[in-house]
Amino acid sequence: MKTLQDELRASMQWAQAKQAEYANEGRLPAPAFKVGDQVMLDTRNLRTKRPSASLDLKNRGPFTIVRAINNTAYELDLPANMKRIHNVFHPWLLHLVDDNPLTGQTQDPEVPAEFDPEVEDDTEYTVEAIEDCRINKKLKDPAARCRKGKTTQGLLQYLVRWANYPDGPDNPSWEPYMNLADSADTVTRYHLDHPNKPPMHRKFKSLTGKQDMLVMRLHALSRV
């Protein structure tokens, strides 16, 4: 379960950085690394104390790869001042350290990065329970299939109660299915217990489908 969550989290990081390339089927394969490699980390998804992203370092490191997860994600040995960052990353956010780096291409790991530990860039809320589900016909499913010139109407939504969010008008809340990409086990159990409800979306059944849902979720957030 942890490995799957790591893969999904890494895929989300990559989607945040390269949404357009993700849709391009002709893109180059993701780079492959091995345990022990020294790599630089693309920092575009890390919040720092610098007032402008243009003034921030584009890469940090070097860091050592300590675990490879099916070549789809890599765990890094991060210094103490970065321990609050989840240390698993998609390979597109890493690149090998040059044997003869130019000035400014590396950063002493002992020098504290201006990372803001009080700001969480990827706050997670835990699904306590799914209380209901529905097809909202006023909304369109971004992954809907066209059949005989007709697009499937409606968006599958779940009424979700969050474990680490205060009760109120936003808890429970109606969420589109792609917001539960990393809670597939909970979704599956709900549908097994409620066979008369609308069926589970096909994208919950594979890792590729879960990655697609993460990209759809990020795309929706980028338009808010």
User: For the whole model, what pTM was predicted?
Assistant: 0.46
**Overall fold of domain 127-222:** OB fold (Dihydrolipoamide Acetyltransferase, E2P) (2.40.50)
Cβ atoms of 129 and 194 closer than 8 Å: no
Cβ atoms of 7 and 90 closer than 8 Å: no
Range list for CATH 2.40.50 in the chain: 127-222
Place of tokens 């992203």: 53
Going by their DSSP bridges, the two strands 127-136 and 146-147 should be labelled as: unpaired
Per-residue model confidence (pLDDT) at position 91: 78
Per-residue pLDDT tens, the chain, 224 aa: give them.
555 556 566 655 555 555 444 444 444 556 678 899 998 887 655 544 433 333 345 677 889 999 887 767 888 888 877 766 677 877 777 888 866 554 444 454 444 444 444 444 444 567 889 999 999 888 888 777 655 555 567 889 999 988 877 777 678 888 888 888 878 889 999 999 999 999 998 888 776 677 677 666 655 544 44
Return the amino acid letter for 158: Y
Per-residue model confidence (pLDDT) at position 151: 53
The token duo for 191 is: 């549908």
Per-residue model confidence (pLDDT) at position 139: 80
Report which secondary-structure segment, H or E, holds 127: strand 127-136
2-96 belongs to CATH 1.10.3470: no
- Contacts within 8 Å (CB) and 24+ apart, 85-89: 85/46, 85/115, 86/9, 86/122, 88/6, 88/9, 88/10, 89/10, 89/13, 89/41
